[in-house]
Structure 1
């Protein structure tokens, strides 16, 4: 049966979008800052309108029906277009606003810049919720569909995606770091790390899902120091935990190394060659440019990043 727009409550689209995203009445209610019975009532109306259950229980979880999955993209896109059209007319008071922003980032960013962002939000905008998810291969797709608002990742990955979607992405550099080599406290090497020393010991690196690219690996390869790693860790922080009792040499961002060094007893060494600066870039979709709330949030993130200042390398 064809739906008549004149008979459809457009406010239900907001509820439908939350339900399709969260796959939970409870979480959808929390996201919309309304009661669970109110969302349950809206779901009942939506089921009648679409003549489909939309959400069904499979074991202990709720799953989308085939019809619901087909609706998810168009519903989200329609809401984003409406929001973009009305955004320039909206006012935004961070101290009084209740809303949610979603951001994808690596564990490195979650341990360095995220605590500072959370403190700023707590002080300046207590009603804003920040939902953080790990960076995965589909994060740029989620940014495109509006499932997340921001994506924080290294500038090299951003430039790669921008070349594929030049009209979609907007971005600004958030903060910088440098790379440092790390070894266990009882590592036999002691002194200034030379290229020959680097080659003499097993190497540890990281791989983010299917993406094995890291800025330091590219630099090592260019400098003739690339070698098959003895360890591929899922994150920089995980790599640091694997060093004790080994002769591995790892390369990680300096801020993270300094953070974990006292706890793990690792030593920081100057890399054997000059490595490029690690630049983390904040990305968002072009449709959010004029949204006052989005603009306020991204400026907060960028201000926090600038307050972190430049980073010098590890002592030799």
Structure 2
């Protein structure tokens, strides 16, 4: 079965309205011969003459009369679909569930502020935070998450990326730690105590260790945990120190810690949000992205 030519629908609607090949040609800005050929095609498709001569005028056949209202309605609906503008976004009545894929450190640092801001602006919105054990764009491509947040690299040419803020690593330790009484922390002090480090894959060497090795130094790894939140929790209740992003100090656990600048140089990190282009112009999703960006940029 041949697919219908929807351009013929518009021509049919005009022909049945004008009841004239010349009038229809003028409205559609076609030549009379082109309009005649279109009428011929319509007659072939419908199996009906549609317009017949009655004296000096053309009149509709009974079948054409039965099609007139239906053709007009279909064409109007097609135009409405193609020309439709998004309905205005009403945050006060919006009921939607957004899924954000990120790590526990981000949730601890920014989750409360995001939830509170969303509740104020759109009380019907639910924010669902899911774990991000690895970087994988398929969750965005498959529509399983709305946003992915973290230290993200390009995960495909179609995935949209927006930087949220720049972060740096700091040293966090308990307030009762012997080194907490000092005004600063030297490299020698840094390597003199045990460390709790973060690694999702159990690795015990990273940029900090490379920087120390360049100075001929090495730190002692006493514990390995999968996330920065866990590292803060261990350091808070032990004599170990943790290297975490400065943003983690905004969490409840982080506010109970003492922090020092990292005594070795490591690159800054950029925390970004990523989304699939299917959501690029969706008003509710745009509001979510703006909300995340605004909350992350608050001091």
**Band of TM-score, shorter chain:** 0.5 to 0.7
Aligned counterpart for 1:100 among listed residues 90, 97, 102: 97
8 Å CA contact 1:113–1:305 kept in 2: the answer is yes
Q: Which has the larger radius of gyration?
A: 2
Distance 1:196 1:283 in 2: 40
8 Å CA contact 1:137–1:211 kept in 2: the answer is no
- In structure 1, stretches of 5+ residues that fail to align are 1-84, 310-316
Q: Match for residue 161 of structure 2?
A: 171
Distance 2:162 2:128 in 1: 20
For 1:123-175, what per-residue CA distance to the aligned partner results, in whole angstroms no more than 9, with x for missing partners?
A: 11112221111222265321221100101111xxx21xx1xx43231111123
Deviates more, 1:224-233 or 1:284-293: 224-233
For 1:258-280, what per-residue CA distance to the aligned partner results, in whole angstroms no more than 9, with x for missing partners?
A: 642564xx432232123433432
Change (3 A) 1:185 1:96: closer
For 1:202-238, what per-residue CA distance to the aligned partner results, in whole angstroms no more than 9, with x for missing partners?
A: 2221123x38599xx3244145256562211122121
- In structure 2, stretches of 5+ residues that fail to align are 1-80
Q: How many residues align?
A: 212
8 Å CA contact 2:109–2:249 kept in 1: the answer is no
The Cα shift of 1:180 comes to 1.7
Distance 1:226 1:288 in 2: 47
TM-score by length of 1: 0.58
1:184 counterpart = 2:174: yes
The Cα shift of 1:294 comes to 1.4
Task: Describe how 1:202-241 pairs up with structure 2 within 5 A.
Answer: 202-208=194-200, 210=201, 212=203, 217-224=206-213, 227=219, 229-241=221-233
Q: Give the secondary structure class of the aligned counterpart of 2:171.
A: strand
Q: Give the secondary structure class of the aligned counterpart of 2:123.
A: coil
For 1:261-313, what per-residue CA distance to the aligned partner results, in whole angstroms no more than 9, with x for missing partners?
A: 564xx43223212343343211111222122221221122112222x24xxxx
Q: Match for residue 274 of structure 2?
A: 283
8 Å CA contact 2:92–2:121 kept in 1: the answer is yes
